[in-house]
Amino acid sequence: MRILFLLTGIICCLAATSCQKANIRAGEASLEGIWRVTEIRSSYGTRVELGTEITEEFTESGTLGTFEFSEEEVSYSYTRLDTLYENTATWQLERERVNEGFTKVEKYTLTLDNEAFVCEFGDQTQDAERDAEMLYLIFETGNIYPYERIDWLLKKE
């Protein structure tokens, strides 16, 4: 009986690990290609005891630039608040399961240029990372003053 219980536990662990690896591979495969930057929202403010107080917010839309992901590098060029940002860097996508209310959800973090971005695929439903056509990248300063948050909306070409 103990052997059966042990084997069942091992099989469940292997299946969970296999699914996690499949999801991260699907996310990485989805990222590869050319993405158009169609909207950028820039928010500035201060940290307060229970969150943030936004003092300025700017939304830009249209053809603002591109991100091009290859297997190991990303090249990006976009204009935000009349400033051109462009670079080529290595990238890494990480996945973790986090508590969200009464359930656990997948959270993806994209690291490039030594900065971490929350990476949201499509509508954030199950398997949204597979063949994604829409992507949100979110950068937010930590617990430091002043507060800054930038949201990029990207659409796959």
Q: What domains can be seen in the chain, in order of their start residue?
A: 2-156 (2.40.128)
pLDDT of residue 1: 54
The band of 10, judged by pLDDT with boundaries at 50, 70 and 90, is very low
- What is the chain's mean pLDDT, rounded? 86
For residues 55-78, give the mean pLDDT. 97
Q: What is the pLDDT of residue 31?
A: 96
Q: Which pLDDT does position 123 carry in this prediction?
A: 82
pTM for the model: 0.82
Amino acid in position 14 = L
Query: Is the separation of the CB atoms in 97 and 105 below 8 Å?
Result: yes
Average pLDDT of the residues in 44-65: 94
Q: 111-153 pLDDT, tens per residue? A: 998 999 999 998 877 788 999 999 999 999 987 778 999 999 9
Alpha carbon 34 to chain centroid distance?
Answer: 16
DSSP 7: H
DSSP 129: T
